[in-house]
Amino acid sequence: MSIGIKIKKGLDLPIAGTVADTLSITVKPTPSVAINPDDFIGLVPKMEVREGDAVLAGQPLFHDKRHEEIKVVSPAAGKVKAVVRGERRKILRVEVEVAGNEAKQLSVEDVFSSPVKAKSLLLESGLWAMMSQRPYAVVPDPSAEIRDIFVTGFDSSPLAVAKTEFTGRQTGHSRRCAPARDAHFRENIHFMPPRPGLPPDRRRRNCNRGRPSSGR
């Protein structure tokens, strides 16, 4: 026999302090960065660089074995410090020792003039790997026909910081989605309004090929 307990008003725990609600963030330089292939669900990595190689920001570190056009790029310029492997030589992470700020240059001229150019730029720049295909949050298949794209700008986690400055930028983000909608993804692009004030770096882009969902 189960016993159900209903809580109407909850309980305030006497814990000192509150969640900060400020955009004052101090950015400190980091000596190294790392990319974890397990963060890209469904991607089977194949290395394009070796330990000791010099890389630029935006230069591919590895690609998907099944779809070689899907690339994961370096977030910073420097030297490949280590390629850490686990059991059966599984790639656990790729470490890059940060040095300099050189970046790989990509042409964006007439990128939205054709579907092929739009998709090629997303694949080459590593942005394609940052998207997730519903319902299983895997890296989207480049050969699949995309019906909808959801650009989300909210965070539903319990202790997420509620920022208020981001709400005024919704119109701008919607406007920047227009070129993509007019090019390859012209069918449907849905801009999901943020929970009041989520900072832009907390946004997540989702790619949907199936039925529309609530946007969570």
Q: What is the pLDDT along the chain (216 residues), one digit of tens a residue?
A: 678 877 777 777 787 876 666 666 677 889 999 999 999 999 999 999 999 999 999 999 999 999 999 999 999 999 999 999 999 999 999 999 999 899 999 988 888 788 888 889 999 999 999 999 888 889 999 988 877 788 776 666 666 665 554 454 545 555 555 555 554 454 555 655 554 444 444 443 333 333 333 333
Beta strands in 6-98 (DSSP E): 32-35, 45-47, 54-55, 60-64, 71-73, 78-85, 91-98
What distance in Å separates the CA atoms of residue 38 and residue 103, rounded to the nearest whole number? Answer: 25
Specify the pTM: 0.68
Tokens coding 40: 């890209």
Q: What is the pLDDT of residue 45?
A: 96
Q: What is the pLDDT of residue 59?
A: 96
What distance in Å separates the CA atoms of residue 18 and residue 161, rounded to the nearest whole number? Answer: 10
In what helix (H) or strand (E) does residue 116 lie, and over which residues does it extend?
helix 115-125
Q: What is the pLDDT of residue 195?
A: 47
Question: With b meaning 16 or more CB within 10 Å and e meaning fewer, what string describes 51-78?
Answer: eeeebbbbbbbbbbeebeebbbbbebbb
Half-sphere exposure of 122 (CA within 13 A, CB side): 21
In what helix (H) or strand (E) does residue 170 lie, and over which residues does it extend?
helix 170-182
Strands in 71-73's sheet, in edge-to-edge order, are 45-47, 60-64, 71-73
Q: What is the pLDDT of residue 202?
A: 42
Q: What is the pLDDT of residue 77?
A: 96
All residues at 6 or more sequence positions from 91 whose CB lies less than 8 Å from its CB, including other chains: 37, 45, 47, 62, 83, 84, 85
Half-sphere exposure of 24 (CA within 13 A, CB side): 3
Q: What is the pLDDT of residue 128?
A: 93
Q: What is the pLDDT of residue 113?
A: 81
